[in-house]
Structure 1
Amino acid sequence: MIVCDGKDMVLGRLASFVAKQLLKGERVVIVNAEKAVISGRRESTLNEYKAWLGARNLTNPRKGPFHLKRPEDLVRLAVRGMLPYDRPRGKEAFRRLRVHVGVPKEFSGKEFMSIPDASLGQLGTRRFIRVEMLSKHLGGKS
């Protein structure tokens, strides 16, 4: 089982690494998911997600699509986008993923795997937004 710390990790790079490990058959746990970052200008990222949030079924909005707003769900969605989710292999891989806000008691003393390519230091810019802030802006409850 691989335990990754999402703190100061670029979401897309973290998600691609995790997706690869899931497809290899590993179980992956991501802790501190709310502290992952999305690169880019804050305003443009927020506007992009607001537009995504506005997509709905006009005949009956209660039928969906339903948009996830919590930080752990946004991270899970990023990983799911990098898996062949419509195939049985991708669904099985996605079931092996666990995402947590903060660090649960069962992982508090364990060593977390670091992904050097996904760290915020590799980004080379200060233009980013944390998943936690994005979630609050979208109306998430976490």
Structure 2
Amino acid sequence: MKTYSAKASEIQKKWFIVDAEGKTLGRLATQIAYVLRGKHKPTFTPHMDMGDNVIVINAEKVVLSSNKELTKLYHRHTGFFGGLKTQTAAEIRASQPERLLELAVKGMLPHNRLGNECYRHLKVYAGAEHPHTAQNPEALPERTLKN
């Protein structure tokens, strides 16, 4: 039996759309990362960008379980001494609602060049409108989205 390794010319990319309204943040992020990475395809090759493009709408209506809205902290550093900035999930949702989902998905992708390339295929929008209608996105199949 031979191991199959996909070539760049054989990769077929599709566009999927996901409505985040009422979905739990972490569970939705894992499913999106799974599709961005390409693990849902039978021809998955670990060292290639096999994943599809994912559009997420209604990101502002994603749900955080329990009281994580007030207790979950996000840290970033400015690069200067004493430059650690901390925000709660509620503060991030108020200023940039799509950022919560972007950070969750980015943390679930590989932390290397391949992960950065996969992350570029994620498009997140706070509202219901998106500018990607020309790509004819399909709804992500329910077998991939388990809730």
**TM-score (ref. length: structure 2):** 0.62
Report how many residues are paired.
Answer: 111
Consecutive unaligned residues in structure 2, runs of 5 or more: 1-14, 39-50
Q: Rg: which structure is higher?
A: 2
Moved more, 87-96 or 67-76: 67-76
Matched position secondary structure for 2:115: helix
The residue identity in structure 1 corresponding to 2:26 is G
- Write the mapping of 1:120-135 to structure 2, written as runs, cut at 5 A: none
Q: Quote the residue 2:57 is aligned against.
A: 31
Provide the C-alpha distance between the structure 1 equivalents of 2:114 and 2:81, rounded to a whole number of angstroms.
Answer: 34
**CA contact under 8 A between 2:76 and 2:86: conserved in structure 1?**
no
**CA contact under 8 A between 2:59 and 2:127: conserved in structure 1?**
yes
Q: Quote the residue 2:6 is aligned against.
A: none
- Write the mapping of 1:25-64 to structure 2, written as runs, cut at 5 A: 25-40=51-66, 42=67, 45-49=69-73, 52-53=74-75, 59-61=81-83
Provide the C-alpha distance between the structure 2 equivalents of 1:100 and 1:28, rounded to a whole number of angstroms.
Answer: 11
The residue identity in structure 2 corresponding to 1:117 is K
Query: Which structure shows the bigger proportion of residues in helix conformation?
Result: 1
Matched position secondary structure for 1:4: strand
Residues 74-100 of structure 1: per-residue CA shift (max 9 Å, x gap):
11000001001x211111100000000
After TM superposition, give the deviation of residue 73 of structure 1 in Å.
Answer: 0.8
Query: Which structure carries more relative contact order (alpha carbon 8 Å, separation 6+)?
Result: 1
1:74 counterpart = 2:100: yes
Matched position secondary structure for 1:77: helix
Provide the C-alpha distance between the structure 1 equivalents of 2:112 and 2:130, rounded to a whole number of angstroms.
Answer: 34
After TM superposition, give the deviation of residue 112 of structure 1 in Å.
Answer: 3.9
Q: Quote the residue 2:12 is aligned against.
A: none
Runs of 4+ in 1 over 3 A off after TM superposition: 52-58, 64-68, 105-108, 110-116
Matched position secondary structure for 1:81: helix
Consecutive unaligned residues in structure 1, runs of 5 or more: 119-142
Query: Which structure shows the bigger proportion of residues in strand conformation?
Result: 2
After TM superposition, give the deviation of residue 48 of structure 1 in Å.
Answer: 2.9
Provide the C-alpha distance between the structure 1 equivalents of 2:101 and 2:113, rounded to a whole number of angstroms.
Answer: 21
Provide the C-alpha distance between the structure 2 equivalents of 1:54 and 1:95, rounded to a whole number of angstroms.
Answer: 21
Provide the C-alpha distance between the structure 1 equivalents of 2:78 and 2:117, rounded to a whole number of angstroms.
Answer: 28
**RMSD of aligned residue pairs (Cα, Å):** 3.2
Residues 43-96 of structure 1: per-residue CA shift (max 9 Å, x gap):
x541232xx4597777252xx568692110111000001001x21111110000
**CA contact under 8 A between 1:30 and 1:100: conserved in structure 2?**
yes
Q: Percent identity?
A: 31
**CA contact under 8 A between 1:5 and 1:113: conserved in structure 2?**
no
